[in-house]
Amino acid sequence: MSPEPIPLRAPVRRADRARQVADVLRQQIHAGAFASSLPGEQELAAEFTVSRNTVRDALALLKDEGLIERAPRIGTHVARRKYDHGLDALLGLKETLRGHGEVHNEVRAATRVVPPLAVARKLRLEPGRQAVYIERLRWFGDLPLSLDLTYLVPDIGDEVITRDLETNDVFALIEQISGGPLGSADLALEAVTADAHSAANLQIPEGGALLLLERLTRLEDGRPVDLEYIRMRGDRITMRGSLTRPPERTDWRLI
Amino acid sequence: MSPEPIPLRAPVRRADRARQVADVLRQQIHAGAFASSLPGEQELAAEFTVSRNTVRDALALLKDEGLIERAPRIGTHVARRKYDHGLDALLGLKETLRGHGEVHNEVRAATRVVPPLAVARKLRLEPGRQAVYIERLRWFGDLPLSLDLTYLVPDIGDEVITRDLETNDVFALIEQISGGPLGSADLALEAVTADAHSAANLQIPEGGALLLLERLTRLEDGRPVDLEYIRMRGDRITMRGSLTRPPERTDWRLI
């Protein structure tokens, strides 16, 4: 009772072919395959065995993403590079971008708050107990990369906000203060469009794409100490990681 | 030379407070904290110690994300649930959603192609050598969840496209055909806005947020066999995972 072989089909619509081409070019741009300008339309058409019109549609998609710039007689240029943020290591932004340039944090808030119940529960605080709240706009050179809202347990947070928050990762400060390494974190990653106010802060158009990362971080002993809501510019950050198939099928789980 | 303690500051702008409230409510909605309707504005204002206007702004943000619906006298309801996709396990969509409902794949293409050079290199194919290309719109019940473009090495791909692609994950087919488990994968995850054609396929508004996952998957012996470009609906998929701080600081790397 083997299933019927399905007939072989190729994408027929130009929009489908353009998407195919755009996906491969995007990866090449991220990988630095083009010094600054992309090959001409004719060359790309030959490389992808598609029409020049399809190449133009593909380039239009990448232009809409803000990845390339196009001008008559000048050609197609890489508009911006994206920065890789590790998905499979617990690294702060500054650590992540070490060697690429300087991260500077604009501290918009650093104070004690009575956190909402849902936050208190995640940080295992009794209802009504205070937490420390930090809000930072994180700059990489003159580029705003992310807007971070951080809730910390008070015993660590009270000390964190006496430190230099403008140049340090919160992760590094927590490790200094707790005297041990961070243990683990739960991540939830979503794509959302930017509301007007977040867009203005991050200097992107309203409705631009954001990676929204919610991260609950624990010390080595398993105690949750840091709950963050991080909005990253979709046009500037790629999250990268490697993963391994778990050896025991029975161990797989919906997480 | 310890840094000056910075003054304690709380967010003063209503838009900032609304974002704070929205982030916590979003997490609660995902976690199923509200059966179907959210508490009233007054109750939320008390819970978050903010004004009712701030609560209204926060709910407007979540409404724009498509997460809730609001109507006078009816109140605020959860509009849709999101599905979790594992970040830290190599699971196909069907495996991931097992127990939640049926995944059905609309196969838009399944054919041999001469892949672009950049794809050939990733799959370690000689230039000009053919690969197998599969394009699927993946439905969860009557909901289109993702649009997947897949390149497979020919020795496995030729066999994959004789199988039932409409109900099977490609991962499961690769494992059946290769006779062994998958080994590992490299992921790159980005947030992009949907172009008109992808939006129409996924039944979201043009400009809606998409999670774009590029994934190169290897067999246990390390051979890359499967390169995918997956567009997931941002309003319907959350990528979740857990990670552990590597024990040796010197092992950290930018990935």
How many C-beta atoms surround the C-beta of residue A8 within 10 A?
A: 13
The token pair at A215 is 């991260």
Mean pLDDT of A34-52: 91
The token pair at B201 is 């396929």
CA B179 to CA B176: how far, in whole Å?
5
CA A130 to CA B68: how far, in whole Å?
29
**CA nearest to A20, candidates B148, B111, B26:** B148
Tell whether B110 lies on the interface with A, counting CB pairs under 8 A.
yes
Mean pLDDT of A127-138: 94
Residues of chain B with C-beta less than 8 angstroms from the C-beta of A86: 253-255
Question: What helix, strand, coil percent values describe chain B, rounded to 5?
Answer: 30, 35, 35
ipTM summary value: 0.85
* Buried-exposed string B3-28: b where 16+ CB fall within 10 A, e elsewhere: eeeeeeeebeebbbbbbbbbbbbbbb
Tell whether A172 lies on the interface with B, counting CB pairs under 8 A.
no
Tell whether A176 lies on the interface with B, counting CB pairs under 8 A.
no
Mean pLDDT of A196-215: 93
Q: What is the DSSP string of A27-91?
A: HHHHTT-SSSBPPPHHHHHHHHTS-HHHHHHHHHHHHHTTSEEEETTTEEEE----EEEESSS--
Say whether B31 sits in a helix, a strand or coil: coil
Mean pLDDT of A214-227: 94
Interface touch B149/A186, C-beta < 8 Å: no
pLDDT at A144 over 90: yes
Interface touch A207/B207, C-beta < 8 Å: yes
Interface touch A193/B193, C-beta < 8 Å: yes
Question: What helix, strand, coil percent values describe chain A, rounded to 5?
Answer: 30, 35, 35
Q: In what order do the strands lie in the sheet with B131-140?
A: A83-86, A237-244, B182-193, B209-219, B224-233, B143-152, B131-140, B103-113
Average pLDDT value for chain A: 86
Interface touch A184/B208, C-beta < 8 Å: no
- DSSP code, position A249: G
* Buried-exposed string B36-60: b where 16+ CB fall within 10 A, e elsewhere: eebbebeebbebbebeeebbebbbe
Mean pLDDT of A100-109: 89
**Predicted pLDDT at B74:** 82
Interface touch B242/A185, C-beta < 8 Å: yes
Low-confidence ranges of chain B (pLDDT < 50): 1-7, 247-255
Residues of chain A with C-beta less than 8 angstroms from the C-beta of B173: none
Q: To the nearest whole angstrom, how far is the Cα of A176 from the nearest Cα of chain B?
A: 14
Tell whether A47 lies on the interface with B, counting CB pairs under 8 A.
yes
Average pLDDT value for chain B: 86
Tell whether B46 lies on the interface with A, counting CB pairs under 8 A.
no
**Predicted pLDDT at A11:** 63
Residues of chain A with C-beta less than 8 angstroms from the C-beta of B186: 240-242
- DSSP code, position B175: H
Say whether B126 sits in a helix, a strand or coil: coil
